[in-house]
Each structure stands twice: as C-alpha cells, then as structure tokens.
Structure 1
C-alpha cells in the first residue's frame, strides 16, 4: 500500500466528525441524555461512543504516549465489544447517566480529534496500512451512528405527547396520489453476490483498497448463487397502499401473520405503523418536522419485518430475498434521497422502473442474516462488529433518508431483529414468475 495521504484522510475524518455534531445542533440540552427505548440510545452516548471507537482501535494501539481523556470512559462508552478489558455499561441504562456532562463529552471529542491529527501525521510506516484500514472502518462506523442519532432522536421526541419537532423547517412533499405500481422482470441464472474479499494485515484487519471500495466483513466473500426468475416492484409500497391493508382489517386477521408476528402485534397493541395516529378520523404521522397529515404517495416506513411480511402476503406477493435485491441493484447508480439532502423523510416516487432502490427506506428482505459461504470474521474485538450478530435477525437493503449517500452500495447488508421498527424500514414487493 502507498504511504498514507495525510491531507485526504484528515479531510475525510474532519467532514464525518463535523457532520455528527451538525446533526446535534437542533437539540436542547435536555435532549442529549434522553433514552425512551432500549434500542434508542441518548445522543450524548452516540457522541462519546464513536470517539471511544477511534480511541480504542487507533489511538491506544498506534499513537505513542497517548493519554486517555478519562480512565473510565472505556467502560461507559463501549457498546458491546466483549474482548476489550473494561467491559461495557448496560445498554438499557445509558439514559441514566447524567454525568459526564454534554460539555465533557464534547471535550472528549476534541481530545480524540487532536490525538487523531497527531496519529495521521506521525504514524510509523509499519503501521500505516492497518491505521488506514481502521480509520476507514471508524469513519463508516460513525456514519452508522449518524443514522442512529437521527432515528433515536425521532423516537425520543415522538415519545413526548406534544410531538415536538427536531427541525420545524424540514421540507414537506406535497400530497399527491401514488404512481401506479409496476414490476420489472429478471431472468433466472447463476449470479455473483457480495464484495470482493480484501487482503488481511498483521493485526487481522482487512485492507480496503481505493479501487475495491469500502465494504464490511459481512459482505465477503464474493460468491455465486442460483436465482429463479422473478419480478421486482419498481417502487416502494406507499402509505395509501398500506392504509388499504389496515382498512381491510390486516391487523385483525391471524392468517396473514407469522406466529411470532401475531404474538407481537397483540402483546404490543400494534394497529398501524410506528408514528401513525388517527386524529378526528384522519391518519397523521409524526416526522422529524413534527406531526402532519399522512401523505398517501410517500413510502410507508417504520415497519417491522412482521408487518412487511404480512402486508406482502395480503397483497398476494412476497418480500424479495437479499440476493434478488442485490441482483436488481448491481451496477446501478446510487441515486435516491439520503441524509445529505436534508429532508429526513421518504419522498414519493415518480414514474419509471426500479426507483428508490437506494435511500428513502431500508427494504426488508426475506433473508435471514447469516454468513456467506467461507465467511471468516476478523480476529480480535473488531471481529465482533458484525459476525456475532448472525442469529435471529433479518437483512435489509438499500439505505434510507437517514443514511449518508457515500455509505450506500449494492452489497451493503443491514440487519435488525424482526420486531424492530424505529428505523426507516419499508417494503418492496416481489413475485415469482409462473
């Protein structure tokens, strides 16, 4: 690998770190430590955790003489890495920590940023390849937490009966009727899936060359699978279409639901997607811009896998597998509505084929989150990033309106438990060819 380009790496680091703090600018100080669900962490914790990541995996092992900002932050702000010495504070109790203060957390970020600038300028030649690789992982990791910041802030604010807005100035798409639903046909055959596998360094890290492009270890190795012929919807399912499912009693018919899904909607009392509520007989939706009437043409979002699967069954179709989705998306430009656009809400589709593959909503697939053939996690604590979660979760593809555009790609595999719906999760239908 050629020597590190310090200026480019520093610029990328600065951009990503600055955007995280930009996302927090609309918050009041009281918002920073709010945690209203186990899966939704306080903004203060996100700000500290991503700094902990750089400190743990880059500064401590590779910057000579590095001094920790606080001796116990490695315990408070570790998320789930069991192979680190300090352990971690329980996830459900992150919102119970009034200290360190928000000001101290921002000071921690400055401390880490200053040390990272020294590391990028002083890194010995024998460590440059590993530092570059870990830095790229760290930047992508922070982008993931930027998305979680947005969705967690939305969940936390929507818990309030006042339905306060995160940003009252967010653009609102004009209400309109959805474009007709059409499908694109794909022939069967053997196709390749996944990202090209990287080389590995002495610390077990994976080398992501610029030509190859970044990918997480769960996207490796590239391999082949047989697809049967299928058809894929040209756009996401809309609010109007999902409302028809509700109006037809979709939440009351056990024959539409997987057993775990039927148990979940009854135990939780679900009758509509998360953030929907009916006021004076009219459906409304809580957004990051506050509560507003439902736009029938916008993609339905904040659905669990159970709801997506039940809707597809009601519609006489099914969810695509992750491989059908990737085959359809492969080679297409990463176009769509992302966090970069500043809308922070899915946008209606126009006429045309295979729209909204990227951005707007993560798309539930029918595929369980499992390793690819010959998958091998990296050694050490970084190997816990993805591999240890390959049980009991489902794959989503495509990115959402809270995802960074340069973070999305056709091979990206997101994953959540089937009952979770606080992310911008939506539906794309598929069907078999007779």
Structure 2
C-alpha cells in the first residue's frame, strides 16, 4: 500500500470516528432535547450537528472537491460569527431528521472527494490538512456537545466505565530547568495556524505541580473561606465572584457536611483525588495565590510537557513522539470524568509531570496571541480574530477531547469567566536561588 493510500485510510478512519461520536451524542436524546437550548452559553445540539456538516461541505465538498453546493441556502444559519449562541434557537434551523440527512449526504460526497484528491500539490491538501482540519473541527464540536450534555437537566443518557484508579506520583512539584526549548511546531501535518511556527523560547527555572489541583485540595481553599476573602482574587476576579455569587466550582453542592458533584445527570460524593473541573480562570488564579503559587505561563506549561533534558529536544507528547494510547491519557470520551491523579504513569513527561494531556483543560496565565511569524491559514476566523487580552489560553485537553484534536502544541482559549468547559489547572512558582543551589 502506498503512503497516499495509507493517508487516505487514516483520514477515512478519523472522519468515521468523529461521526460515530457525533451520532452517539445526538442519538442519546430525543428530538425535543435536540432542538431546545439547555443553556444560553450553548447552541441547541441540532445546530452543532448541522454546523459540523456545513463546515465539512464548505471546505471539503466545495473548496477541495470543487463540487456544487449541497445546501448553499443554509450557509448563513450555520455561520458561527453571524448569530450568537443565545439566539440560535430562534433561527429556522434544520430539524433533527433533516439535519441527519444533510450531514449524511455531505459525508458521502466527502468520501468521494477523498478518493479523488491527490493529497499533495498545494498547501490545503498536503498531508491531508483540510481533511484533518475538519476532523478536528467535528471533534471540537463533539466536546462542546458533551459540555451541553453536562448542562442538560434530566435523566442520565450517557454512560461510560469509570476511569482507572490513581497511584503514586512522587514529589508534589517538579523543577523545570531554565534555558532554551523549542515551542510550537512547523512539522505536525495537522497542526493549526496558532500552533505555528516552531520557535525557540528561553525560560527561567521554575517549579510546576506534578499533577493538576485535585478536588480535595480545592475543597480546602473553599473551606478556608476562599470565596469570601478578596485577598486571593484579582480585581476582575473578585468582581466576578460577587456578580455571579460564586461559592464553589460549578456543579458542586454542599449537603450537610459533605460536597457532592453532579456530572451528566448523576449526583455523587466528590472524589477527593480527581482533578477539580469546571472552574474558571479567576478561580484557578485565586486558588494559586492562596496556595502561595501562581498559574504557569503558556510557555512554562509547554516546556514542562515537551522538554526532554536528556536530549534537549521537544517531544510531540509528554511521554514521547508516539500517538496516545489508553495507557497514556484520559481522552476520547472513554470516561465521563477526570481520572484520579497518578492514573497514567506511562503518560508522564520526561521531567516527571503527570496528566498534562487529557483529564482537564488547564488554565494558563497567558493571553491568546499569535507566535512571532504567525501566518493566517486557512482563514482568520479560526485564530486571529480571537487574539488579544480578552481570552486566556488553556492547554492539554480533557477527558472529553479526542486525540485527533489534542497535542502538546495545541492551544485552546476562552473567556476567563467560563466554567461550563471541562477546565481545571495546576500551579507553578518561581525557583529561589537557595533551591537552585
């Protein structure tokens, strides 16, 4: 089999995996749940489904394939920049049956385009990039739909086995040496524009937590009056705490003397050694200040994840260059919760930092911007329009992320008040001269 045939098979398999997941998330509920809005922060599930098909049609059927439009009349309805999520239920959207027929018809045409496309010769198709972009787009929307399921009220409709048990992780912090390392990528075929180009960055030595902050550790902050004490919060963070009346992470509930958490329709006692999830940037920053630490910068996070001190090179993933397996990370919606710390020793970085990939998206202190040498490709609306101080960068993916859409170079971003996403964090701190000596 030729390399092009191998690539086609890989693309087809990834497209099918993504569609299987979309189908699972939309078939799990009835038509009423598909068309209604479960939160003003989210689109109706049926909008996400048709939007997935529309983006696939625009890029693969029309642009790559040069085919006639399937449904040009709906382009504006499913343009994410034309209509805010809060008003999408009011639009004349495709109904569930029509949306399913539409995405099916588009996918049939895409497979035909895939068979007839050389996958080389110009940048959009080199290495199957446009197909990989659409795979990642669908998986990203699948994670968004999973977040909508978390916001849905009603009987549980999703099921998955529990994550593996935790284990020992060594010291609470790891020292990351100062000096240069290569950040970003210029070689990953499906990397998106904001991950490019590869460039050298120099850091000072710093300590980073071996694991994400756990429910148990965060509960100590809550018990210490963390949400009532403005000392730990930035000015913007404290204003948000008061405006939103925050008292604990989202989906936590205090019953008598015990914390419970609701996940996908099931309310259970809080698991102390699982990473805390559904906290916003301001909450993460406040906890870090209370703990005498800070959030890592995006540069620090990536160095902790990729830098191999034995060779000086940057790995694709914390554990090396091979793709993730079930032993490495909690990805692919395989479980419906973060795994306890220490559950993936095979996924630790060369420096001994655990669970950097999967489980929870990790807030960093960095604003979202392009790297030096950034070039828009293939459209500004993917990254560039979000650059600036309004968005904070998150790294590493969550249990709801698919491995096709997560790399050690992958960058996510959101408003610092958002916590419906599967977001957590770990802390960092500067290294003192005495500690270095």
- Normalised-by-shorter TM-score class: 0.7 to 0.9
The secondary structure found in structure 2 opposite 1:410 is: coil
1:12 Cα deviation from its structure 2 partner: 2.9
1:322 Cα deviation from its structure 2 partner: 1.1
1:6 Cα deviation from its structure 2 partner: 4.1
Which range moves more in the overlay, 48-57 or 71-80?
71-80
**CA root-mean-square deviation:** 2.6
- Structure 1 unaligned blocks of 5 or more: 81-87, 198-211
1:79 Cα deviation from its structure 2 partner: 1.1
Match of residue 312 from structure 2: none
Number of matched pairs: 403
Match of residue 184 from structure 2: 194
1:430 Cα deviation from its structure 2 partner: 0.9
Match of residue 204 from structure 1: none
- Structure 2 unaligned blocks of 5 or more: 307-314, 346-351, 433-437
Contact 1:326 1:410 in 2 (8 A): yes
**CA distance, structure 1, for counterparts of residue 186 and residue 117 of structure 2:** 28
CA change 1:195–1:176 in 2 (3 A) is closer
**CA distance, structure 2, for counterparts of residue 257 and residue 181 of structure 1:** 28
**CA distance, structure 1, for counterparts of residue 176 and residue 256 of structure 2:** 45
Contact 1:302 1:426 in 2 (8 A): yes
**CA distance, structure 2, for counterparts of residue 431 and residue 413 of structure 1:** 22
1:98 Cα deviation from its structure 2 partner: 6.7
Which range moves more in the overlay, 187-196 or 120-129?
120-129
Match of residue 374 from structure 1: 373
Q: 2:411 aligns with which of 413, 416, 419?
A: 413
1:401-425, CA deviations, whole angstroms, 9 ceiling, x for partnerless residues? 0011232211111111100011111
2:94 corresponds to 1:100: yes
Match of residue 42 from structure 1: 44
**CA distance, structure 1, for counterparts of residue 245 and residue 75 of structure 2:** 39
2:134 corresponds to 1:138: yes
TM-score (norm 1): 0.86
1:325 Cα deviation from its structure 2 partner: 1.1
Match of residue 75 from structure 2: 74
Q: How does 1:166-185 map to 2 (within 5 A)?
A: 166-167=157-158, 169-172=159-162, 182-185=172-175
Contact 1:299 1:346 in 2 (8 A): yes
Contact 1:178 1:238 in 2 (8 A): no
The secondary structure found in structure 2 opposite 1:76 is: coil
Q: How does 1:248-327 map to 2 (within 5 A)?
A: 248-327=224-303
1:154 Cα deviation from its structure 2 partner: 0.9
Q: 1:122 aligns with which of 95, 116, 125?
A: 116
Q: 1:347 aligns with which of 326, 336, 339?
A: 339
**CA distance, structure 2, for counterparts of residue 319 and residue 125 of structure 1:** 41
TM-score (norm 2): 0.85
Q: How does 1:366-405 map to 2 (within 5 A)?
A: 366-378=365-377, 382-391=379-388, 392-405=390-403
1:258 Cα deviation from its structure 2 partner: 0.8
1:174-221, CA deviations, whole angstroms, 9 ceiling, x for partnerless residues? 999997861111111122211116xxxxxxxxxxxxxx3421100111
1:301-342, CA deviations, whole angstroms, 9 ceiling, x for partnerless residues? 10000000000000011111111111111122242111252x
1:126 Cα deviation from its structure 2 partner: 8.3
